[in-house]
Amino acid sequence: MHITFRQLKIFESVARLLSFTRASEELHLTQPAVSMQIKQLEQAVGLPLFEQLGKKIFLTDAGREFGRYSSAITAQLEELDQVVDEMKGLKRGRLTIAVASTANYFVPRLLATFCQRHGDAVSVSLDVTNREQLLKSLVENRNDLVIMGQPPKDMALVAERFLENPLVVIAPPGHPLAGEKRILPDRLREETFLVREQGSGTRSAMERYFFANDLRLETPMEMSSNEAIKQGVEAGLGLGLVSLHTLAMELALGRLVVLDVVKFPIMRNWYIVYREGKRLSIVAQSFREFVLQEAAQLLQLPAL
């Protein structure tokens, strides 16, 4: 099978964007050039990698399988590039990080401090996404480091805890439970909760709490982001469960309050994670050490 690195790069762009037009724009190529390279790649593989249904294109089974190996090859080449640069004594580097959407409330502050110390020597790629995509990123080894909540137990990972992540119940200031002390779990039985999507770490923690206290989520409203939950709670649609890291502005402005519910906050943790056996670049290793040593001191939670 004769495949060029150029074809791999074009394939990865088309597979990620699922569009020949957008891939050509991203790669600064003409659309016919992109189409021709994909056609030659499919001829080399001997199977179609994409299929078109209507105006949309999709990966075939062979395309998805090819994508896994393509990602692994690209990661190895990038690692080789980093190793060679380190052997040359170069001090510049690129850091690629994927973080859970909730972590985006504090990770930019960490990156700002880290980059200020290293000047123009470090460039950063930050991918903010949900838990499902973080796990996929780890499987495909797409990033130097991942910052997430509870890491999966069925993957060979290095996961190091660096910061507490308290989960709290929030309500609008005018809610009947606002200001009450030691609210018993049973008082939540008739409340509507706005919840994150299935698979979210916050959603799982909420479900475990309700199960342990013999409660059911009444008429839950599912939302895909912390911002949507906070705005929904502020509008009076129900209560929410969110990380205290996400609430600095709303608490300071009096838009939301944290309820004093028994057995809250639920204490979880943030982890910095990478594949076991992965060779971290000098930049990635420096950022890892910075996070482990200084994140807890740099990041202050709002007072309850």
Residues 35 and 106 in one domain: no
Which structural domain range is residue 182 located in?
Answer: 165-268
Diameter over CA atoms, the chain: 70
As given in the structure block, the two tokens for residue 56 are 């949309």
For the stretch 71-110, what's the b/e string if a residue is b when 16 or more beta carbons lie within 10 angstroms of its beta carbon?
Answer: beebbeeebeebeebeeeeeeebbbbbbbbbbbbbbbeeb
3-state secondary structure of 91: coil
Q: Are 256 and 175 in contact (CB under 8 A)?
A: no
Give the pLDDT confidence score for residue 90 in this predicted structure.
46
Q: Residue 258's pLDDT is what?
A: 96
Q: How many CA atoms lie within 13 A of 62 on its CB side?
A: 11
- Is residue 103 helix, strand or coil? helix
**DSSP 8-state class, residue 180:** -
* 278 found inside a domain: yes
- The HSE-up count of residue 78 (CA atoms within 13 Å, CB side) is 20
Q: Tell me if 73 is assigned to some domain.
A: no
CATH number of 63's domain: 1.10.10.10
- Cis status, amide bond into 151, omega within 30 of 0: no
Instruction: Give percent above pLDDT 70 in the chain.
Output: 95
Same domain, 149 and 276: yes
Residues 26 and 92 in one domain: no
Please tell me the pTM assigned to this model: 0.69
Of 258, 227, 266, 271, nearest to 107 by C-alpha is 271
The pair of three-digit structure tokens given for residue 149, joined into one six-digit string: 């909540």
Within-domain flag for 26: yes
Residues forming a β-bridge with 64: none
In-domain check, residue 112: yes
The whole-number pLDDT of residue 257 equals 96
DSSP per residue, 37-86:
HHHHHHHHHTS-SEEEETTEEEE-HHHHHHHHHHHHHHHHHHHHHHHHHH
- pLDDT for the residue numbered 86: 63
Rounded distance between C-alpha atoms, residue 107 and residue 272, angstroms: 11
Residues 200 and 238 in one domain: yes
Verify that 188 and 223 share a domain, yes or no. yes
**Terminal Cα distance for the chain, rounded:** 62
Is residue 153 located within the same domain as residue 85? yes
Partners of residue 166 on adjacent β-strands: 267
Q: CA-CA distances (angstroms) from residue 124 to 49, 97, 113, 178?
A: 31, 8, 13, 42
What total of structural domains would you count in the chain? 3
Give all strands (DSSP E) within the chain, no chain letters. 50-53, 56-59, 93-100, 122-129, 145-148, 157-171, 192-195, 218-222, 239-243, 257-258, 266-275
Whether 33 is covered by a domain: the verdict is yes
- Give the per-residue pLDDT at 261: 94
Tens-place pLDDT, residues 161-185: 999 999 999 999 999 999 899 999 8
Judgement on whether residues 48 and 110 belong to the same structural domain of the protein: no
The CATH number of the domain holding residue 200 is 3.40.190.10
One digit per residue, the tens of pLDDT, for the chain of length 304 reads 788 888 999 999 999 999 999 999 999 999 999 999 999 999 999 999 999 888 889 999 999 999 988 988 888 887 777 777 665 554 567 889 999 989 999 999 999 999 988 877 788 999 999 888 999 999 988 899 999 998 998 999 999 999 999 999 999 999 999 989 999 988 988 888 998 888 788 888 888 888 898 887 766 788 888 999 999 999 999 999 999 999 999 999 999 999 999 989 999 999 999 999 888 888 899 999 999 999 988 988 877 6
Q: What are the residues facing 195 on neighbouring strands?
A: 222
Q: Are the beta carbons of 98 and 142 closer than 8 angstroms?
A: yes
Based on the domain organization, do 154 and 283 belong to the same domain? yes
pLDDT value of position 92: 62
